[in-house]
Structure 1
Amino acid sequence: MNNAIFNTKWMFPVLLMFITFWHFPISANTVKNNKEQPSNLNKFQYYLESYENMDINSVASMFADDILLRDWKISVKGKTEAIRETQKNFQSSESIVIEILRTFESANAVAGELKITVNSTEVLYVTDVVTFNSDGKITSVRAYIGRED
């Protein structure tokens, strides 16, 4: 038997290339569609950072036209109403600090357990569930009040 056929110096790289290209074919569409889009988690974090900074323009730019904004006090539908409610929150607050305690990401949504401090005095424990459409815009923010423990 010829040992050159089983020479591991070249066999492993060839086998690896065979497996890679056979089982994971790369096409022009794969490369084209894989343009370093921010993950939903990144978008969620940016949304919270913009909210914490009370940057209405950044927050509004993330909203889809048909967004649903709902928490334990209000429920509004549509970008104009969601912006109006968000602006009310900003106007009634001197400061907002958001600490992300935990996150869970799925294909089109992120849930985050948050500690929100408003005006350095009011501490809220909230779970936000944020969904995204195929354009990366926020289609819903559902906020649920919790407690520290």
Structure 2
Amino acid sequence: MQRTHLAHRVGCHTRHDDLEGAGRLNETEGETMASDFETRCRATISAYMDAFNGKDLDALGRTLTDDVTLVDWDVSASGRAEVLATTGRIVSGASLRITVRDILVSEPSAAADIVISIEGTGELEVIDLFRFAPDGRIRSVRAFRGPLHAGA
């Protein structure tokens, strides 16, 4: 059986109608269905990326736990207020656009394969590793930098 692609390059959106592409098999219909956890975390990642792209720190904050941590190759922050302040500095410094290429889920974590388009610089490949609280909010984000492709 061919697996449905899990994420589409439409802004940063993960199409919710494609969520059935991973998860458990529905034996009566021969189709796959996403678990509740997977559906929740995909929706949270989509909301997080939409908020990042829209520079909407209030919306981004709603995706995070109070004790969230953020670590990437340049910054480290702990707690919702500090993570939001750090993210505010990131989004105000350059024209950025995140596109989600794929999301892999294994409870209580997910990895998002993303491309960050940086106006005037290029495209940066990144893997974001998310850990989730039981309520579906993000407990931690660790970002791993890949190659930068000049010219975007």
| Fold shared per TM-score above 0.5 | yes
Q: Is the 8 A contact 2:113 2:127 kept in 1?
A: yes
Contact 1:40–1:108 under 8 Å retained in 2: no
1:14-37, Cα deviation, whole Å (9 max, x unpaired): xxxxxxxxxxxxxxxxxxxxx999
Match of 2:88, SS state, is helix
Mapping for residues 2-17 of structure 1, pairs under 5 Å: none
Q: TM-score, normalised by structure 2?
A: 0.68
CA distance in 1, matches of 2:54, 2:70: 19
Which letter maps to 1:71? D
- Per-residue deviation at 1:75? 1.2
Report how far residue 85 of structure 1 moved. 0.2
Match of 1:106 in 2: 106
Within a 5 Å distance, the mapping from 1:1-149 to structure 2 comes to 38-94=39-95, 96-147=96-147
Q: Which secondary structure does the structure 1 equivalent of 2:68 belong to?
A: strand
* Separation (CA, whole Å) in 2 of partners of 1:103 and 1:90: 22
TM-score by length of 1: 0.69
> What is the Cα deviation at residue 46 of structure 1?
1.7
Q: Quick one: percent identity of the two aligned structures?
A: 25
User: Gapped runs of 5+ residues in structure 1?
Assistant: 1-34
- SS of structure 2 residue aligned to 1:39: helix
Larger radius of gyration: 1
Structure 1's 79 and 109: CA in aligned 2 closer, same or farther, altered over 3 A?
same
- 8 Å Cα contact 2:38-2:105 kept in structure 1: no
CA RMSD in angstroms comes to 2.4
Please state how far the C-alpha of 1:93 moved relative to its aligned partner. 2.1
Higher strand share: 2
1:66-85 superposed Cα distances (whole Å, 9 cap, x missing partner): 11100001111111110110
| CA contact 2:127–2:145 (8 Å) conserved in 1 | yes
Q: What is the number of equivalent residue pairs in this alignment?
A: 115
CA contact (8 A) 2:98 2:115 kept: yes
Point out where structure 2 has 5 or more consecutive residues left out of the alignment. 1-35
Displacement of 1:148 in angstroms is 6.3
Does the C-alpha gap of structure 1 residues 140 and 36 become closer, same or farther in structure 2, counting only changes over 3 Å?
closer
Secondary structure of 1:89 counterpart: helix
Please state how far the C-alpha of 1:121 moved relative to its aligned partner.
3.0
